[in-house]
Protein backbone atom coordinates (compact mmCIF):
# COMPACT_ATOMS: atom_id res chain seq x y z
CA UNK A 1 0.00 0.00 0.00
CA UNK A 2 1.28 3.46 -0.87
CA UNK A 3 2.24 5.66 2.06
CA UNK A 4 2.71 8.70 -0.17
CA UNK A 5 0.93 11.87 0.81
CA UNK A 6 -1.70 12.58 -1.80
CA UNK A 7 -3.26 15.80 -0.61
CA UNK A 8 -1.78 17.80 -3.49
CA UNK A 9 -4.14 17.72 -6.48
CA UNK A 10 -1.32 18.57 -8.86
CA UNK A 11 2.24 18.93 -7.71
CA UNK A 12 3.74 22.23 -8.91
CA UNK A 13 7.16 23.78 -8.55
CA UNK A 14 5.74 25.81 -5.68
CA UNK A 15 4.51 22.65 -3.96
CA UNK A 16 8.08 21.35 -3.93
CA UNK A 17 9.48 24.50 -2.36
CA UNK A 18 6.67 24.36 0.25
CA UNK A 19 7.46 20.69 0.91
CA UNK A 20 11.06 21.59 1.72
CA UNK A 21 9.92 24.43 3.97
CA UNK A 22 7.57 22.00 5.78
CA UNK A 23 10.20 19.28 6.07
CA UNK A 24 8.29 16.86 3.82
CA UNK A 25 10.62 14.73 1.68
CA UNK A 26 10.14 14.72 -2.10
CA UNK A 27 9.94 11.49 -4.11
CA UNK A 28 11.02 11.47 -7.75
CA UNK A 29 11.32 8.61 -10.26
CA UNK A 30 12.01 8.51 -13.96
CA UNK A 31 9.49 7.35 -16.56
CA UNK A 32 9.68 7.42 -20.32
CA UNK A 33 6.42 5.85 -21.50
CA UNK A 34 2.67 5.99 -20.88
CA UNK A 35 2.20 2.67 -19.05
CA UNK A 36 5.08 3.15 -16.61
CA UNK A 37 4.14 6.79 -15.99
CA UNK A 38 0.55 5.72 -15.09
CA UNK A 39 1.94 3.39 -12.43
CA UNK A 40 4.49 5.90 -11.10
CA UNK A 41 1.86 8.65 -10.90
CA UNK A 42 -0.74 6.35 -9.33
CA UNK A 43 1.77 5.31 -6.64
CA UNK A 44 1.92 8.92 -5.45
CA UNK A 45 5.40 9.82 -6.66
CA UNK A 46 5.70 13.63 -6.50
CA UNK A 47 7.90 14.27 -9.53
CA UNK A 48 8.31 12.25 -12.73
CA UNK A 49 11.60 12.88 -14.47
CA UNK A 50 11.64 12.15 -18.17
CA UNK A 51 15.38 11.69 -17.94
CA UNK A 52 17.86 11.46 -20.76
CA UNK A 53 18.70 8.13 -19.09
CA UNK A 54 16.10 6.99 -21.66
CA UNK A 55 19.16 6.90 -23.92
CA UNK A 56 20.50 4.03 -21.77
CA UNK A 57 17.45 2.17 -20.51
CA UNK A 58 15.09 2.60 -23.47
CA UNK A 59 17.49 2.77 -26.41
CA UNK A 60 20.46 0.74 -25.12
CA UNK A 61 23.13 3.38 -25.67
CA UNK A 62 26.20 3.33 -23.45
CA UNK A 63 25.81 7.02 -22.51
CA UNK A 64 23.11 9.69 -22.41
CA UNK A 65 24.75 11.67 -25.22
CA UNK A 66 23.03 10.23 -28.32
CA UNK A 67 19.39 10.93 -27.39
CA UNK A 68 17.84 13.75 -29.45
CA UNK A 69 15.40 16.53 -28.65
CA UNK A 70 12.74 14.88 -30.84
CA UNK A 71 13.17 11.61 -28.95
CA UNK A 72 12.91 13.38 -25.58
CA UNK A 73 9.74 15.10 -26.76
CA UNK A 74 8.29 11.72 -27.84
CA UNK A 75 9.01 10.17 -24.42
CA UNK A 76 7.78 13.24 -22.52
CA UNK A 77 4.47 13.46 -24.43
CA UNK A 78 3.73 9.82 -23.58
CA UNK A 79 4.37 10.55 -19.88
CA UNK A 80 2.28 13.73 -19.95
CA UNK A 81 -0.71 11.75 -21.30
CA UNK A 82 -0.48 9.42 -18.29
CA UNK A 83 0.22 11.59 -15.26
CA UNK A 84 -2.56 13.38 -13.38
CA UNK A 85 -0.77 14.40 -10.20
CA UNK A 86 2.99 14.43 -10.54
CA UNK A 87 5.07 17.37 -11.71
CA UNK A 88 6.74 16.37 -14.97
CA UNK A 89 10.33 17.49 -15.49
CA UNK A 90 12.02 16.84 -18.83
CA UNK A 91 15.78 16.68 -19.43
CA UNK A 92 17.21 18.93 -22.12
CA UNK A 93 19.46 16.48 -23.98
CA UNK A 94 23.16 16.93 -24.69
CA UNK A 95 23.90 19.44 -27.44
CA UNK A 96 20.62 21.34 -27.22
CA UNK A 97 21.60 24.04 -24.69
CA UNK A 98 25.36 24.25 -24.26
CA UNK A 99 26.29 26.33 -27.29
CA UNK A 100 24.31 29.51 -26.62
CA UNK A 101 21.37 30.83 -24.59
CA UNK A 102 19.15 31.35 -27.64
CA UNK A 103 19.50 27.75 -28.67
CA UNK A 104 18.84 26.69 -25.08
CA UNK A 105 15.63 28.71 -25.02
CA UNK A 106 14.50 27.30 -28.39
CA UNK A 107 15.06 23.75 -27.10
CA UNK A 108 13.21 24.41 -23.84
CA UNK A 109 10.30 25.99 -25.72
CA UNK A 110 10.04 22.94 -27.99
CA UNK A 111 9.90 20.65 -24.92
CA UNK A 112 7.17 22.75 -23.28
CA UNK A 113 5.07 23.28 -26.44
CA UNK A 114 5.39 19.85 -28.05
CA UNK A 115 5.36 17.57 -24.99
CA UNK A 116 3.29 19.45 -22.42
CA UNK A 117 5.94 18.88 -19.72
CA UNK A 118 6.00 21.29 -16.78
CA UNK A 119 9.70 22.08 -16.38
CA UNK A 120 13.12 21.32 -17.84
CA UNK A 121 16.34 20.05 -16.27
CA UNK A 122 19.83 21.10 -17.38
CA UNK A 123 23.20 19.75 -16.27
CA UNK A 124 25.89 22.17 -15.13
CA UNK A 125 26.73 25.26 -13.11
CA UNK A 126 28.12 28.67 -13.95
CA UNK A 127 29.15 27.67 -17.48
CA UNK A 128 25.44 27.49 -18.45
CA UNK A 129 24.19 30.35 -16.25
CA UNK A 130 23.15 32.57 -19.17
CA UNK A 131 21.18 29.73 -20.80
CA UNK A 132 19.35 29.04 -17.56
CA UNK A 133 18.51 32.73 -17.12
CA UNK A 134 17.19 32.96 -20.68
CA UNK A 135 14.91 29.95 -20.17
CA UNK A 136 13.68 31.25 -16.81
CA UNK A 137 12.93 34.67 -18.33
CA UNK A 138 10.57 32.94 -20.75
CA UNK A 139 8.60 31.60 -17.79
CA UNK A 140 9.88 28.04 -18.01
CA UNK A 141 10.77 26.45 -14.63
CA UNK A 142 14.31 25.04 -14.47
CA UNK A 143 15.71 22.26 -12.31
CA UNK A 144 19.52 22.22 -12.02
CA UNK A 145 21.76 19.15 -11.92
CA UNK A 146 25.21 19.16 -10.29
CA UNK A 147 27.78 16.62 -9.11
CA UNK A 148 28.07 13.71 -11.49
CA UNK A 149 26.61 15.06 -14.72
CA UNK A 150 26.42 12.12 -17.15
CA UNK A 151 26.36 14.36 -20.25
CA UNK A 152 29.99 15.26 -19.36
CA UNK A 153 31.12 11.66 -18.89
CA UNK A 154 33.92 11.97 -21.44
CA UNK A 155 35.32 14.94 -19.51
CA UNK A 156 35.23 13.03 -16.18
CA UNK A 157 36.31 9.70 -17.69
CA UNK A 158 34.48 7.66 -15.02
CA UNK A 159 31.15 7.46 -13.17
CA UNK A 160 32.86 7.64 -9.74
CA UNK A 161 31.80 9.88 -6.84
CA UNK A 162 32.32 13.60 -7.58
CA UNK A 163 33.42 16.53 -5.40
CA UNK A 164 35.50 14.53 -2.93
CA UNK A 165 38.22 17.17 -3.02
CA UNK A 166 37.83 20.57 -1.35
CA UNK A 167 38.15 22.63 -4.54
CA UNK A 168 35.43 20.78 -6.48
CA UNK A 169 33.21 20.69 -3.37
CA UNK A 170 33.47 24.49 -3.00
CA UNK A 171 32.70 24.95 -6.72
CA UNK A 172 29.61 22.78 -6.30
CA UNK A 173 28.39 24.82 -3.31
CA UNK A 174 28.93 28.04 -5.27
CA UNK A 175 27.08 26.62 -8.27
CA UNK A 176 24.14 25.52 -6.10
CA UNK A 177 23.87 29.02 -4.59
CA UNK A 178 24.06 30.55 -8.06
CA UNK A 179 21.27 28.24 -9.35
CA UNK A 180 19.08 29.27 -6.44
CA UNK A 181 19.87 32.97 -7.01
CA UNK A 182 18.99 32.94 -10.73
CA UNK A 183 15.66 31.24 -9.96
CA UNK A 184 15.91 27.45 -10.36
CA UNK A 185 13.16 25.72 -8.38
CA UNK A 186 15.20 22.63 -7.39
CA UNK A 187 18.55 20.94 -7.94
CA UNK A 188 19.49 17.30 -8.48
CA UNK A 189 22.77 16.33 -6.81
CA UNK A 190 24.19 13.13 -8.23
CA UNK A 191 26.81 10.88 -6.63
CA UNK A 192 28.57 13.19 -4.20
CA UNK A 193 29.54 12.64 -0.53
CA UNK A 194 26.48 12.63 1.77
CA UNK A 195 28.07 15.22 4.07
CA UNK A 196 28.54 17.70 1.23
CA UNK A 197 25.01 17.10 -0.10
CA UNK A 198 23.57 17.83 3.36
CA UNK A 199 25.65 21.00 3.56
CA UNK A 200 24.29 22.14 0.18
CA UNK A 201 20.69 21.32 1.21
CA UNK A 202 21.14 23.40 4.35
CA UNK A 203 22.63 26.35 2.51
CA UNK A 204 19.83 26.89 -0.05
CA UNK A 205 16.07 27.22 0.36
CA UNK A 206 15.16 25.37 -2.85
CA UNK A 207 14.79 21.57 -2.68
CA UNK A 208 17.86 19.40 -3.23
CA UNK A 209 16.99 16.02 -4.70
CA UNK A 210 19.70 13.41 -4.37
CA UNK A 211 20.76 10.29 -6.23
CA UNK A 212 23.70 8.71 -4.46
CA UNK A 213 23.89 11.79 -2.23
CA UNK A 214 22.74 10.39 1.14
CA UNK A 215 19.65 11.18 3.17
CA UNK A 216 20.46 14.67 4.41
CA UNK A 217 18.82 16.16 1.30
CA UNK A 218 15.20 17.13 0.60
CA UNK A 219 14.23 14.27 -1.69
CA UNK A 220 15.42 11.27 -3.65
CA UNK A 221 15.38 10.21 -7.30
CA UNK A 222 16.06 6.84 -8.90
CA UNK A 223 15.82 5.47 -12.41
CA UNK A 224 12.62 3.43 -12.30
CA UNK A 225 14.03 0.46 -14.25
CA UNK A 226 16.88 0.22 -11.71
CA UNK A 227 14.71 0.35 -8.58
CA UNK A 228 12.35 -2.25 -10.05
CA UNK A 229 15.28 -4.53 -10.81
CA UNK A 230 14.56 -4.59 -14.56
CA UNK A 231 18.20 -3.70 -15.19
CA UNK A 232 20.56 -6.19 -13.61
CA UNK A 233 24.07 -5.27 -14.70
CA UNK A 234 24.19 -2.00 -12.75
CA UNK A 235 25.09 -2.24 -9.05
CA UNK A 236 25.97 1.16 -7.61
CA UNK A 237 26.06 1.30 -3.81
CA UNK A 238 23.27 3.93 -3.74
CA UNK A 239 20.72 1.78 -5.56
CA UNK A 240 18.00 0.02 -3.56
CA UNK A 241 16.18 -2.58 -5.64
CA UNK A 242 12.55 -2.94 -4.54
CA UNK A 243 11.81 -5.83 -6.91
CA UNK A 244 13.75 -8.26 -9.03
CA UNK A 245 11.72 -7.84 -12.20
CA UNK A 246 14.51 -8.98 -14.50
CA UNK A 247 14.25 -12.46 -13.02
CA UNK A 248 10.47 -12.39 -12.57
CA UNK A 249 9.85 -11.24 -16.14
CA UNK A 250 12.33 -13.72 -17.56
CA UNK A 251 10.61 -16.55 -15.67
CA UNK A 252 7.16 -15.41 -16.83
CA UNK A 253 8.29 -15.24 -20.45
CA UNK A 254 10.04 -18.61 -20.26
CA UNK A 255 6.79 -20.07 -18.86
CA UNK A 256 4.88 -18.52 -21.79
CA UNK A 257 7.32 -20.07 -24.28
CA UNK A 258 6.89 -23.43 -22.65
CA UNK A 259 3.06 -23.12 -22.57
CA UNK A 260 2.96 -22.22 -26.27
CA UNK A 261 5.25 -25.11 -27.22
CA UNK A 262 3.18 -27.53 -25.13
CA UNK A 263 -0.09 -26.22 -26.67
CA UNK A 264 -1.20 -25.40 -23.14
CA UNK A 265 -1.84 -21.77 -24.09
CA UNK A 266 -4.46 -20.75 -25.04
CA UNK A 267 -6.82 -23.12 -23.22
CA UNK A 268 -10.57 -23.43 -23.81
CA UNK A 269 -11.38 -20.36 -21.70
CA UNK A 270 -8.85 -18.25 -23.52
CA UNK A 271 -10.37 -18.54 -26.99
CA UNK A 272 -13.59 -17.60 -28.82
O1 LIG B 1 18.42 11.13 -16.70
C2 LIG B 1 18.21 10.78 -15.53
O3 LIG B 1 17.62 9.74 -15.24
C4 LIG B 1 18.71 11.64 -14.46
C5 LIG B 1 18.65 11.12 -13.06
C6 LIG B 1 19.71 10.11 -12.85
C7 LIG B 1 18.72 12.20 -12.06
O8 LIG B 1 19.16 12.72 -14.71
Residues of the chain with CATH 3.20.20.60: 13-241
**Among the listed residues 219, 167, 177, 172, the one whose alpha carbon sits nearest the alpha carbon of residue 192:** 172
91 lines ligand 1 (CB under 6 A): yes
pLDDT score recorded for residue 64: 98
Report the nearest atom of ligand 1 relative to the CA of 91: 1
Note the pLDDT tens digit of each residue in 26-38. 999 999 999 999 9
The backbone torsions φ and ψ at residue 58, rounded to the nearest 5 degrees and listed phi first, read -95, -40
> Across the chain, what does the average pLDDT equal?
96
What is the whole-number distance in angstroms between the Cα of residue 145 and the centre of ligand 1? Answer: 9
Q: Would you say 195 is a known binding-site residue? A: no
pLDDT at 1 > cutoff 50: no
Identify the bridge partners of residue 208 per DSSP, sorted by sequence position.
187
pLDDT band at residue 233 using 50, 70 and 90 as cut-offs: confident
pLDDT at 6 > cutoff 70: no
pLDDT score recorded for residue 189: 98
pLDDT band at residue 5 using 50, 70 and 90 as cut-offs: low
Note the pLDDT tens digit of each residue in 64-117. 999 999 999 999 999 999 999 999 999 999 999 999 999 999 999 999 999 999
The C-alpha angle 204, 205, 210, rounded to 5 degrees, equals 70
**Among the listed residues 48, 40, 151, 138, the one whose alpha carbon sits nearest the alpha carbon of residue 92:** 151
Topology (CATH) of 13-241: TIM Barrel (3.20.20)
Note the pLDDT tens digit of each residue in 149-159. 999 999 989 89
Identify the residue whose C-alpha is closest to ligand 1 atom 4: 51
Amino acid sequence: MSTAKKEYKRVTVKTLVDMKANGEKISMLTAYDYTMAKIVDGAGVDVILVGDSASNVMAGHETTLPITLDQMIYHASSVVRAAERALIVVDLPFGTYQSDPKEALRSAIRIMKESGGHAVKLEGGKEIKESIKRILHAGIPVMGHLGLTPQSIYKFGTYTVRAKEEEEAQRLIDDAKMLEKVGCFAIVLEKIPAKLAKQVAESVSIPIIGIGAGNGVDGQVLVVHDMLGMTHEFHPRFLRRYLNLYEDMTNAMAQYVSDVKAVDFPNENEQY
